[in-house]
């Protein structure tokens, strides 16, 4: 992440006035924290991950909690992952890029976001939850804060996942240097980026 401290501080000062408002927009009914915690615990023991765990992971990731009209394509994808999982389980702490490449080849590029979420569940302290919204927000802050121009509208590569991870880490690391109050949690930063990116899509 090629940001100077002054650039990061400028980004923090831009984010801070709107940060709490965007975090408050996050819908915990759609993305229940307790269920995410349960899934992380389940995927920390990859040999014990079941088909129902995998289905529940896709339900959470795509915001289908509490809905009856579960998309057929997600149901079929979950069944496919469950069939492949025993021989290709993602091991916590192992090289995430290797695991990404393995599952990318197994599922294909259309399942990019799903593969990234599986990586997160196995490595929640190192791999963020990626979607087009937080990627859009990160791109915006990089363009306005450092004049870095990124061309892609949606994440499509492992490097895009790393970009979101590293942006959050650097901003949180330098937050206290901006003189704007207490450093937020990594979870709240995730929520901010998601909801800010969603709002940007409307513009």
Q: By C-alpha distance, which of 109, 125, 106, 128 is closest to 117?
A: 128
Averaging pLDDT over each range in 65-74, 148-157, 164-173, which range is the top one? 164-173
Residues 197, 140, single domain; the answer is: yes
Q: Nearest-CA neighbor of 31 among 154, 201, 194?
A: 194
40/114 same-domain check: yes
Q: What angle do CA 115, 44, 92 make, to 5 degrees?
A: 65
**Residues 63, 90 share a domain:** yes
Whether 101 and 134 map to the same domain: the answer is: no
Do residues 111 and 47 both lie within one domain? yes
Domain count, the chain: 2
- Cα dihedral value 179, 182, 183, 185, nearest 10: -160
Q: Do both 40 and 116 map to the same domain?
A: yes
63-108 tens-digit pLDDT: 998 888 888 899 999 999 999 999 999 999 999 999 999 999 999 9
Distance (Å, rounded) from C-alpha 199 to C-alpha 80?
33
What's the angle, vertex CA 72, arms to CA 70 and CA 73, rounded to 5?
Answer: 115
What's the rounded Cα separation, in Å, for the pair 7 and 165? 17
The domain boundary, picked from 69, 99, 122, lies at 122
- What pLDDT, on a 0 to 100 scale, did the predictor assign at position 150? 58
Residues 104 and 173 in one domain: no
Task: Please count the helices (runs of H) and the strands (runs of E) in the chain.
Answer: 9, 0
- For residues 59 and 103, membership in a common domain is answered with yes
Give the confidence band of 148 by pLDDT, cuts at 50, 70, 90: low
Instruction: State the pLDDT confidence band at 152, using cuts at 50, 70 and 90.
Output: low
Domain stops at, among 106, 122, 138: 122
Q: Pick the residue with more confidence: 147 or 109?
A: 109
Is there a single domain that holds both residue 135 and residue 108?
Answer: no
Q: Is the pTM of this model over 0.85?
A: yes
Q: What is the mean pLDDT of residues 114-122?
A: 97
CA proximity to 166, closest of 202, 126, 136: 126
Please tell me what DSSP assigns to residue 46: G
The range of the structural domain enclosing residue 22 comes to: 5-26+130-202
Residues 14 and 37 in one domain: no
Contacts of 121 (CB under 8 A, 6+ apart): 39, 40, 42, 43, 57, 90
Asked if residue 57 and residue 9 are part of one domain, the reply reads no
Phi and psi for 4 in degrees, rounded to 5?
-80, 165
- Indicate the residue among 122, 154, 177 that finishes a domain: 122
């Amino acid at each position: 992440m090629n940001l100077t401290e002054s650039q990061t501080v400028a980004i923090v000062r831009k984010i801070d006035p709107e940060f709490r408002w965007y975090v408050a927009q996050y819908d915990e009914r759609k993305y229940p924290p307790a269920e995410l915690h349960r899934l992380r615990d389940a995927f920390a023991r990859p040999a014990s991950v079941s088909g129902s765990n995998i289905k529940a992971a896709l339900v959470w990731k795509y915001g289908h909690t509490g809905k009856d009209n579960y998309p057929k394509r997600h149901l079929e994808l979950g069944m496919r992952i469950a069939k492949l999982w025993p021989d290709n389980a993602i091991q916590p702490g192992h090289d995430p890029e290797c695991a990404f490449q393995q599952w990318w080849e197994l599922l294909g590029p259309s399942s990019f976001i799903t593969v990234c979420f599986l990586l997160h569940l196995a490595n929640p302290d190192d791999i963020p939850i990626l979607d087009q919204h937080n990627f859009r927000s990160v791109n915006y802050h990089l363009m306005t804060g450092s004049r870095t121009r990124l061309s892609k509208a949606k994440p499509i590569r492992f490097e895009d996942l790393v970009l979101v991870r590293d942006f959050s880490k650097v901003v949180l690391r330098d937050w206290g240097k901006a003189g704007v109050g207490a450093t937020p949690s990594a979870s709240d930063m995730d929520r901010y980026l998601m909801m800010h990116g969603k709002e940007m899509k409307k513009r």
